[in-house]
């Protein structure tokens, strides 16, 4: 399987997770990979496969959340012809396809209770039975599973089988989020940026300006490495033809003065024909005022109070959007950190 992405990083937390996966790879035991979206769980699963004795066998990937509950068992274990409506011919499941190799189950926590029961049996006895068949099939499969959920909590809530978790958690590799890998952000930015520059056939790589890099370092990255890759590649190709280091960064690709208003927030006469937001100096600011202040600008009897309420609403909205990361909020508002702190004290917005 050829990949266009690689495990890139130098932070100790990231290297510790990769090292743990590398040491577990030769052992023919299940491994759980835990991490937020975009942290590279599938890449760790591939590493576990390629560094194992099964490297020349199949690596079968199944996203458990991508299928409706009624089809998950058929996908995992296969089915015979006529087993259910639409099953016109027999089909092997992912377990049979992964025989002799590795089966990677992504979004494990979304498996239904019946699917968990059958998965446990398959792991314990090394055999699966197709839906509509009474004859088990022997399989030799290593399980690697991934989730962004805390599975012990799901066990306590009765949403995940404790004995299945016991079988799968021989080793657990937890990937750190990008916000805890600050030293990796410049490395990943350079990696993704250079690769995009190669794709669009730039002769040289100008890099990112110091101001742009400070914005990248201050951003909280809820989408982790996947989001960073998108932001960096978008900045590179949009900068094409301009000189000097890349300066423009857009974190939200949906940011636009023309984006539609939420249907629930719209009312008769609010949205013009076409259903778009009229242009304004700050679309985020207008939404923030509606959600953070009851001050009505159309019925203003005190200009200073109205201006103060508006400013406070903008600050509160930026802080919430940046999860109260004050440096990120300052960057988003084009303020210095000290300016933001002063404004927060003035409006009694202490995080």
Q: Are residues 139 and 16 in the same domain?
A: yes
Range of the domain at 290: 278-346
Q: Are residues 172 and 191 in the same domain?
A: no
Single residue among 148, 176, 204 that ends a domain in this structure: 176
Q: List the beta bridge partners of residue 138.
A: 127
> What is the percentage of the chain residues whose pLDDT exceeds 70?
87
Integer Cα distance of 252 and 249 in angstroms: 9
Q: Are residues 31 and 155 in the same domain?
A: yes
For residue 287, the domain's CATH number is 1.10.10
Integer Cα distance of 141 and 260 in angstroms: 48
314 found inside a domain: yes
Strands 171-174 and 142-147: unpaired
pLDDT score for 300: 66
Q: Are residues 32 and 160 in the same domain?
A: yes
The total domain count for the chain is 3
20 found inside a domain: yes
Q: 272 to each of 55, 110, 268, 279, 285, how far by Cα in Å?
A: 59, 41, 9, 11, 19
Q: Which segment, 44-53, 118-127, 254-263, 318-327, is predicted with the most confidence on average?
A: 44-53
Phi, psi of 246 (to 5 degrees): -70, 130
Q: Are residues 66 and 167 in the same domain?
A: yes
pLDDT band at 286 (very low <50, low <70, confident <90, very high): very low
pLDDT band at 276 (very low <50, low <70, confident <90, very high): very low
**Total count of residues recorded for the chain:** 351
1 found inside a domain: no
129 found inside a domain: yes
pLDDT score for 296: 60
Q: Are residues 323 and 304 in the same domain?
A: yes
Q: Are residues 189 and 334 in the same domain?
A: no
Question: Strand, helix or coil at 299?
Answer: helix
Q: Which residue has the tokens 């991508």?
A: 66
pTM, whole model, 2 decimals? Answer: 0.71
For residue 216, the domain's CATH number is 1.10.8.60
210 found inside a domain: yes
333 near 215, Cβ under 8 Å? no
Integer Cα distance of 216 and 163 in angstroms: 43
Name the token pair of 84. Answer: 């259910």
Q: Are residues 164 and 197 in the same domain?
A: no
Q: Are residues 146 and 36 in the same domain?
A: yes
For residue 109, the domain's CATH number is 3.40.50.300
Residues near 41 by beta carbon (within 8 Å), at least 6 away in sequence:
33, 34, 35, 106, 146, 175
Across residues 289-317, what is the average pLDDT? 69
Q: Are residues 75 and 205 in the same domain?
A: no
Across residues 117-129, what is the average pLDDT? 91
259 found inside a domain: no
Nearest to 42 by CA among 166, 112, 147: 147
Q: What is the pLDDT of residues 329-338, one digit of tens each?
A: 888 898 887 7
Single residue among 129, 144, 176 that ends a domain in this structure: 176
Q: Are residues 21 and 64 in the same domain?
A: yes
Q: Taking 60 as the threshold, does the pLDDT of residue 267 lie above it?
A: no
246 found inside a domain: no
Integer Cα distance of 193 and 189 in angstroms: 6
> What is the percentage of the chain residues whose pLDDT exceeds 90?
56
Single residue among 152, 176, 200 that ends a domain in this structure: 176
336 found inside a domain: yes
Q: Taking 50 as the threshold, does the pLDDT of residue 277 lie above it?
A: no
Q: Are residues 219 and 111 in the same domain?
A: no
Q: What is the pLDDT of residues 81-120, one digit of tens each?
A: 877 777 778 889 899 999 999 999 999 999 988 889 989 9
Residues near 13 by beta carbon (within 8 Å), at least 6 away in sequence:
176, 180, 181
pLDDT score for 157: 95
84 near 131, Cβ under 8 Å? yes
Q: Taking 70 as the threshold, does the pLDDT of residue 238 lie above it?
A: yes
């Amino acid at each position: 399987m050829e990949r266009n992405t690689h495990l890139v990083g130098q932070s100790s937390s990231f290297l510790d997770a990769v090292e743990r996966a590398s040491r577990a790879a030769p052992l023919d035991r299940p491994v759980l990979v835990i991490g937020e979206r975009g942290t590279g769980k599938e890449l760790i699963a591939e590493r576990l496969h390629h560094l194992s004795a099964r490297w020349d066998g199949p690596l079968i990937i199944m996203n458990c959340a991508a299928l409706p509950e009624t089809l998950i068992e058929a996908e995992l274990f296969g089915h015979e012809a006529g087993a259910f409506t639409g099953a016109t011919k027999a089909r092997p499941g992912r377990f049979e396809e992964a025989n002799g190799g590795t089966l990677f189950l992504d979004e494990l926590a979304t498996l239904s209770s019946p699917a968990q029961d059958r998965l446990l049996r398959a792991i314990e006895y090394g055999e699966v039975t197709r839906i509509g068949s009474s004859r088990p099939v022997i399989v030799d499969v290593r399980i690697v599973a991934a989730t962004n959920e805390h599975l012990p909590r799901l066990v306590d809530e009765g949403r995940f089988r404790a004995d299945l978790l016991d079988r799968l958690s021989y080793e657990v590799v937890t990937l750190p989020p990008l916000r805890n890998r600050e030293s990796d952000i410049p490395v990943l930015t350079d990696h993704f940026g250079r690769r995009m520059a190669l794709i669009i056939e730039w002769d040289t790589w100008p890099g990112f300006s110091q101001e742009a890099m400070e914005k990248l370092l201050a951003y909280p990255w809820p989408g982790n490495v996947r989001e960073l890759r998108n932001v960096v590649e978008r900045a590179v190709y949009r900068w094409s033809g301009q000189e000097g280091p890349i300066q423009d960064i857009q974190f939200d690709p949906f940011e636009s003065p023309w984006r539609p208003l939420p249907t629930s927030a719209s009312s008769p006469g609010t949205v013009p024909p076409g259903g778009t937001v009229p242009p304004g100096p700050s679309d985020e600011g207008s939404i923030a005022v509606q959600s953070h202040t009851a001050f009505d600008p159309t019925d203003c009897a005190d200009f200073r109070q109205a201006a103060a309420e508006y400013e406070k609403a903008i600050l509160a909205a930026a802080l919430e959007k940046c999860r109260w990361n004050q440096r990120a909020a300052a960057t988003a508002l084009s303020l210095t950190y000290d300016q933001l702190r002063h404004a927060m004290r003035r409006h009694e917005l202490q995080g």
